[in-house]
Chain A
Amino acid sequence: MASEVGWYLYGFLSHGDLAPMTGIDGRSPLSLVAENGIAALSSSVSLTEFGEEALRRNLEDLRWLEDKVRLHESIVESALAKGPLLPMKFGTIFLDPERIRAVIRRNTPILRAALEDLREKEEWGVKGFADPAALRAAVLRTDPALLALSREASAKPPGQAFFLRRKMETSASAKSQEREESFAREALETIRETVVEVTEHPPLLPEARRGERIVFNLACLVRQEGVEAFLAGVEQWNQSHAEEGVRLVASGPWPPYHFVPRLDDDG
């Protein structure tokens, strides 16, 4: 019995230059479903693996998910190497290519404008990490008011010194918090200077090194010709804050997942 077939979508593009790759099932070739000069990059998938119920079951298998996510990503990246592409959310499957053409027809101007906008631009991620202990140590080391308190405490008898030190600790906590916030603002300003657009997103899962926490998570749209300056800016920021318990980590280039348009989704 031939299994039923669906069409898995990877993205929309305006060029017809296809890398000779297999699709997300590891077997079927990539193909284009084209309409109005825009094409959906897709490949056929068996519904015994990607049908509604099968997909739900497979999603619980992290090994399957990891494999498919990596395939989806590498297919998108190789198509993106040849021109702009609007990447799809993972797991969009049509049963009839005619319905894909209808989506393109309904959204042709939006898709065309977005593809034009994203030409020669890349998405980069920037995360800000803080090490609270190192941040606090830096505050205690450098804040004039806290240094004065510390000196004063050293000169007083133990009873008074205890209260002065306690005051110093409380003040150090508040100042560490302030400094973390001002670092985040400052970093964002630095990054803004070298990118086209920045959006901030909640960090979803713990992923910092031990002792650190993630303070912010940015998605940046960067002109390809400006990537070097963007990365140099991040590096320079890290160097000038090396002793202060904060650092930036850039990742990319990514397909422009955070900078795709919203489509008219009726029908």
Chain B
Amino acid sequence: MMDNGWPASSRERQVTLLETLDRLLNRGVVVAGDVTLSVADVDLIYLGLRLLMSSVETAREWGVRSGVE
């Protein structure tokens, strides 16, 4: 049941992932463990996500323009 509650459409999935990531990466209890994410790590993740989001957006617009339902 790991996927319970996660929406099926690609865009909805991305938005939910984004909201989850926003919370998991920037909030929550911070403890200096032996391994923890640094600010640089988090920035890197956002860079990757921006690329992903813009490609999702491009694909969607392309679909709309070519008349795909």
Interface residues of A (CB under 8 A from B): 6, 9, 11-12, 50-52, 55-56, 59-60, 62, 65-66, 69-74, 86-96, 99, 103, 125, 204-207, 210, 251, 254-255, 257-258, 260-263, 265, 267
Contacts and interface: CB of A to CB of B under 8 A. Distances in A.
Contact of A69 (B4, B17, B35): B17
A72 B24 contact: yes
A93 B50 contact: no
Contacts of A74: 1-2, 4
7 contacts: A56-B41, A65-B45, A70-B20, A87-B27, A90-B24, A207-B53, A263-B29
Contact of A260 (B27, B48, B57): B27
Nearest to B40: A56
Nearest to B37: A91
A59 B3 CA distance: 21
Interface string B28-59: 11111111110001001110111011000100
B20 to A, nearest CB: 5
Contacts of B15: 207
A204 B22 contact: yes
A99 B34 CA distance: 9
A94 B49 CA distance: 27
A205 B29 contact: no
Nearest to A199: B27
Contacts of B53: 205-207
The binding surface of chain A is classed by DSSP as mixed
Nearest to A264: B31
Interface of B: 1-4, 6, 15, 17-37, 41, 44-46, 48-50, 52-53, 57, 61
A162 B6 CA distance: 53
Contacts of B31: 9, 88, 92, 103, 263, 265
B33 A92 contact: yes
Nearest to B21: A69
Contacts of B37: 55, 59, 89-91
Nearest to B4: A74
Given A11-B29, A56-B41, 16 more contacts: A50-B35, A62-B49, A70-B2, A87-B29, A91-B35, A92-B33, A92-B35, A95-B34, A96-B34, A205-B50, A206-B57, A257-B24, A260-B27, A260-B28, A260-B29, A262-B30
A90 B28 contact: yes
B1 to A, nearest CB: 8
Contacts of A257: 23-24, 27-28
Contact of B35 (A11, A66, A93, A255): A93
A62 B29 contact: no
B35 A205 contact: no
